[in-house]
A and B are shown apart, each in its own frame.
Chain A
C-alpha cells in the first residue's frame, strides 16, 4: 500500500472512532427531541424513531410548565453573575495594585475558602439564612451566591490585572484619575474576554445549581429550574412527550448562549479553568 493511501486509511479510522463516540454522546439528546413530539401512545408503540403526526402542542404544555422556572433562574443567575463580577473586579484591583498592610492576610482568607467544601457549610449557612429572615426569598440565593463566587473570581482577575502594563495606571494617576475610575476606565474595557469567560462559567454553574434552591426555597412558584424539573419528573402520571419538550426548552437558553460565545467558551474551558 502506498504511503498516501495508508495515511488516508488511518485518518478514516480516527474519524470513525470519533464519530462512534459523538453518536453515543448525542443519542440522549436525539431521544429527547424525538420523544418530545410524541403522545403517550406513539411513545409506547415506537419509542426510538420519529413518527407522524408530530405533536408540537407538547411544546406549549412544556413551555407553560417550565417557563416560570426559567424566568426565575435567569433573574437569579444574572443578578448573581453581574454583581459578583463587579465586586470581584474592584477586589482584584486591590490585591493586584496595592501592597497594603494586612493585604496578604486578607488574600489568605479568600484562598482558604476555596478549600472549604460547600457541603460542610450547608447546615450552618442554612441556619444563618433562617436567622436573617431570608428563608424562602431570592436573597437567600443571591447573597450567598455572590459571596461564594468571590474567592475564585478575585483569584483569576488578580492575575489578569497584574499583567496590565504599569504605564496605563501611571498615566491615569498623573491625569488625576481616582482608583475607582481606574478600575472602571482601564481595567473594565481591557477585560472583555476574561470577564466573558468567567461570566459564562458562572452562568452555567448557576443554571445547574440545585442545592441552594432545594434547601432555601419552599414556595413552588418561586422555585428555580433544576428543582422544578425534578418535581415535574416525579409527578405521578408521566406524559413523556410533554416532559421531554420541557427538558428541551430548559436546555435551550444555554445552547443559544453557547452558539453566540463559542470561542470564549472553548478558550475558557481549555485554559482559564485550570490556570486560574
Chain B
C-alpha cells in the first residue's frame, strides 16, 4: 500500500517530491520543451538559426500537396503488408519449438535464435549490403555461379528503381526474429497440456491443432507484436537511410515519412516543414493506438 499524503500533511512530506525532481526536470527540459517548440514552429519558415518567419498554415498545405509525402505513406503501407507476412515464420518456428518433446532442445533452440539478435543491427545491415553489392556481392555471385547471370552481368539490387523496395523487404530472410519467437513461446506455454490431449483424442491433426488451438490461444501475443510492428514501421526511417542514404534510392523510390522529415530538415534547412511532418507522424501514431484500443476492447 502506498502512503496517502493529503494536501494538509504536505508540509511534513514535501521532501518526497525530491525523489522525482531530477527526472521530472529532465523530461520538462529535454522532452516537453522541444515538443512544444516543435508544435509552435509548424507555423514558421524556420532553418533553426537566423530564418524564423511566421507563415501560418503554409507548411501544412505544402505537406498535403507534397508528392514525396504521399508516396512515402504508400511505401509505409507496402512495408506494413510485407511485415505482416514476415511475422509468419516466427509464429511457425515458435509453434514447432513448443511442440518438441525434449525440454532441453526447446531451450537450446531458444538460445540459438537469440544469438543473431545479439549481433548489432548495424552489422546485419552492412552484411546485407554486402549481399546486394553488384560486382562482388553474395547474390549476384551465386547467380553467376549457377549461370543465371553472365560473367560480367550485374543485377543492381539497391539502385534499380523497381528492385529497391523488394530488396529491402527481402532483407532479414528467413525473418525469424528472436523477440517474436520468445513472446509467442511465452504465450504457448500457457496452453494447458489437457487442451492438447483433448484435441488429440478428438483426432485433430497437426494443422488442425495449429489452426483451432494454438493460433487462437496466442492471439493476444500476435496482436501485441502486430501493433508494435505497425507503429514501428510508420516511425522507422533509419532502416532505409542505412541501406540507401538520405535520397532513398533512385527517384526517392523507398522514401518513408521519417526520411523525408530528416532530408527536408537537415539537408534543405526546412525545419518548420520538418516539424509539420513530425506532427503528422504523431497524429498517425495516436490514431493507430486508438484503433488498437478499440479493437482490443471489442474482442474481449
Q: Pick the contact of B182: A119, A211, A266 (CB < 8 A).
A: A266
- Cβ of A237 under 8 Å from chain B: no
Distance of B139 from chain A, by nearest CB (Å): 12
In the bound complex, residues from chain B placing their C-beta under 8 Å from that of A10 are 206
Contacts of A90 in B (CB 8 A): 19-20
Q: How far is the CA of A241 from the CA of B244 in the complex (A)?
A: 23
Q: List 28 A-B contacts (CB under 8 A).
A: A14-B96, A14-B100, A24-B173, A25-B174, A31-B127, A47-B136, A87-B22, A87-B23, A96-B2, A99-B5, A101-B6, A109-B32, A116-B282, A119-B237, A121-B38, A151-B27, A210-B242, A225-B120, A225-B122, A226-B120, A240-B130, A250-B122, A254-B120, A265-B114, A269-B114, A269-B179, A269-B183, A271-B186
Interface status of B254 (Cβ within 8 A of chain A): no
Any B CB within 8 A of the CB of A5: no
Give the chain A neighbours of B27 by CB distance below 8 A: 109-110, 113, 147, 150-151
CB-CB under 8 A from B32, the residues of chain A are: 109
B residues less than 8 Å from A101 (CB atoms): 5-7, 10
Q: What residues on B are CB-neighbors of A120 within 8 Å?
A: 38, 278-279, 281-282
Q: Determine which residue in B4, B99, B111 has the highest number of CB atoms from chain A within 10 A of its CB, and name it.
A: B111
Chain A nearest CB: distance from B80 CB in Å? 16
Q: Given the complex of chains A and B, what is the CA–CA distance between A15 and B120 in angstroms? A: 27
Interface residue B13 (Cβ < 8 Å from any Cβ of A): yes
B187 → A minimal CB distance (Å)? 9
Closest to A118 in B: B235
A94–B19 touching, CB < 8 Å = yes
When A123-B261, A150-B27 are in contact, do A98 and B2 touch as well, CB less than 8 Å? yes
**Most chain B CB atoms below 10 A, which of A101, A120, A146, A215:** A120
Closest beta carbon of chain A to B197's beta carbon, Å: 15
Q: Does A229 contact B123, Cβ atoms closer than 8 Å?
A: yes
Question: At the interface, yes or no: B109 with Cβ under 8 Å from chain A?
Answer: yes
B126 contacts A by Cβ under 8 Å: yes
Residues in chain A near residue B38, CB distance under 8 A: 120-121, 123-124
The residue in B1, B20, B26, B30 that gathers the most chain A C-beta atoms within 10 A of its C-beta is B20
When distances are taken between beta carbons in the complex, the residues of chain A under 8 Å from B173 are 24
Q: Is the CB of A2 closer than 8 A to any CB of chain B?
A: no
Chain A residues with CB below 8 A from B238, complex form = 210-211
B20 / chain A contacts, CB cutoff of 8 Å: 90-91, 94-95, 106
Known: A25-B176, A100-B5, A269-B183. 6 other contacts (CB 8 A): A28-B116, A117-B282, A119-B278, A120-B279, A243-B126, A266-B114
**CB-nearest residue of chain A to B40:** A124
A47 touches which of B97, B105, B141 (Cβ 8 Å): B141
Chain B: CB-nearest residue to A119: B258
Q: Is A181 an interface residue (CB 8 A)?
A: no
Q: How far is the CB of A219 from chain B (nearest CB, A)?
A: 17
Q: In which size bucket is the chain A interface?
A: 35 or more
- Kindly supply a per-residue 1/0 record for chain B positions 164-200, scoring 1 wherever the CB is within 8 Å of any chain A CB and 0 otherwise: 0000000001101011001101100000000000000
Q: In the assembled complex, which residues on chain B have CB atoms less than 8 Å from the CB atom of A99?
A: 2-5
Q: Does B124 contact A (CB under 8 A)?
A: yes
CB of A128 within 8 Å of the partner chain: yes
In the assembled complex, the CB of B157 is this many whole angstroms from the nearest CB of chain A, namely 15
**In the complex, B152 has a CB within 8 A of chain A:** no
* A154 contacts the other chain (CB 8 A): yes
| B17: A residues at CB distance < 8 A | 94, 100
A254 touches B118 (CB 8 A): yes
- Tell me the minimal C-beta distance from A144 to chain B in angstroms: 5
Question: Which residues of B are found within 8 Å of A229, using beta-carbon distances?
Answer: 122-123, 126
B277-300 near A? 1/0 per residue, CB < 8 Å:
011011001100100000000000
From the candidates A128, A208, A257, name the one contacting B33 in the complex (CB within 8 A).
A128
B134 on interface, CB distance cutoff 8 Å: no
Residues of B within 8 A of A151 (CB): 27
Does any Cβ of A come within 8 Å of B262's Cβ? yes
Interfacial chain A residues near B240, Cβ < 8 Å: none
Give 4 closest A-B pairs by Cβ, nearest first. Answer: A120-B278, A124-B34, A124-B38, A94-B19
